[in-house]
Structure 1
Amino acid sequence: MGMSVTISPATEHDAEQILKLQYLSYQSEAELYGDYSLEPLTQTLDQLRAELAGGRVLVARLGTEIVGSVRGTVDADGTARLAKLIVHPRMRRHGLGGRLLAAIENLLRADLEAKRYRLFTGHRSEANLRLYRRCGYAPVATEQVSQRLSLIHLEKGANADSYTTGA
């Protein structure tokens, strides 16, 4: 018997599960960059709870298990900043990241009148870069964080095509 993944707003009761998933999800990024001090791996539960209270957070659930999440805020000029798009390693490459990205974009456009979306990822994170390009994002800046890491900042307008799944 199969279950479908549902996407819904996170609640304060989801914080621990999100933090555990975040830690698991960012292991591959830490390995890729040889840096286990990445902010998502050092974030505390209290810091995550503050993010839950200060922006929009969506979770993807498979039954009662949280298997994905994404966060977003919108500033005064209508720029939505998307962050920490995470998918459980066993659920990757099935379109869930694209579904979460489209859901947070739609939510921020409808609720907070987002005019554009911005996000970033590491320069070696090819799977992330492919997903963002497929979803209509284009690179707008590169930020050198350390010798090992540069962040690629990407953006798209709120009227750009959203990701659609073929299934």
Structure 2
Amino acid sequence: MSNSTTTIALVEDDHAGELLTLRRAAFVTEAQLYDDPHIPPLTQTLAELREDLARDDVVTIGAWEGHRMIGSVRVEIEDEKATLGRLAVAPDKQARGIGTEMLFAVLPYLPEQTKEIWVFTGKDSKQNLAMYTKHGYEEQYDKAAGDLTYTYLRRVLGAAGAQPVSPEQPVSQDK
């Protein structure tokens, strides 16, 4: 984990360009792993990203160190289900617990009725799969999408709703 204070907050439209840059930088290694430079996080346009940020059923949060966005995650909400996607950490900040921070930081942004959280990642993304399973996500099924195969994982939230087990270090929450 970084020594600097990390602030978690909703990503607003005025940060769309920075978010697009972060995602592209973070997903290059995935593209290399799958030998596919056309994965969705690398092909999304700024206009498409802005449309996504404006959706009522999508919440995107970011992690900042000072004025720099170093992480983000997108959550699509449907009834009692939340689906995490595009979990991104700046390449120079990876392997420091920021991805884990994002997994826990998203929980207060979920509606009270949320009972389960789904996430998907490439079947060969061993580090991602290990992180998700370490934090209570269980593999459910694989699904092919073109040349890629995604593994879908689910975490059922406890009776207390979206209250996480404490992450390694506290995060300041700005909503």
Decide: shared fold, TM above 0.5.
yes
Q: Measure the CA separation in 2 of the matches of 1:89 and 1:50.
A: 26
Q: Does 1:56 align with 2:59?
A: yes
Do the aligned partners of 1:140 and 1:154 also contact (CA within 8 Å) in 2? yes
Identity score, percent: 30
Do the aligned partners of 1:5 and 1:62 also contact (CA within 8 Å) in 2? yes
Do the aligned partners of 1:136 and 1:162 also contact (CA within 8 Å) in 2? no
Q: Measure the CA separation in 2 of the matches of 1:161 and 1:17.
A: 29
Q: 1:100 is matched with which residue? A: 102
Pick from 70, 78, 95: which aligns with 1:67?
A: 70
Q: Which amino acid aligns with 2:10?
A: P
The structural deviation recorded for 1:106 is 2.7
More helix by share: 1
Q: Give ranges in structure 1 of 5+ residues lacking alignment.
A: none
Q: Measure the CA separation in 2 of the matches of 1:153 and 1:161.
A: 22
Q: Does 1:15 align with 2:16?
A: yes
The structural deviation recorded for 1:93 is 1.2
Over 3 Å counting, the alpha-carbon distance change for 1:161 and 1:152 in structure 2 is farther
1:105-144 equivalences in 2 (<5 Å)? 105-110=107-112, 113-144=113-144
Q: Measure the CA separation in 2 of the matches of 1:129 and 1:163.
A: 19
Q: Measure the CA separation in 1 of the matches of 2:67 and 2:126.
A: 30
Q: Measure the CA separation in 2 of the matches of 1:83 and 1:61.
A: 18
Q: Give ranges in structure 2 of 5+ residues lacking alignment.
A: 170-175
* Secondary structure of 1:133 counterpart: helix
Q: Measure the CA separation in 1 of the matches of 2:143 and 2:26.
A: 23
- Alignment RMSD: 1.6
Q: Measure the CA separation in 2 of the matches of 1:120 and 1:162.
A: 19
Q: 2:173 is matched with which residue? A: none
Over 3 Å counting, the alpha-carbon distance change for 1:17 and 1:158 in structure 2 is same
Q: Deviations over 1:52-79 (max 9, x none)?
A: 1111110000110100000112113x11
TM-score (norm: length of structure 1) = 0.90
Aligned length: 162
Q: 1:158 is matched with which residue? A: 157
Q: Does 1:28 align with 2:24?
A: no
Q: Which moved more, 1:14-23 or 1:151-160?
A: 151-160
TM-score (norm: length of structure 2) = 0.86
Q: Measure the CA separation in 2 of the matches of 1:42 and 1:163.
A: 35
* Secondary structure of 2:106 counterpart: helix
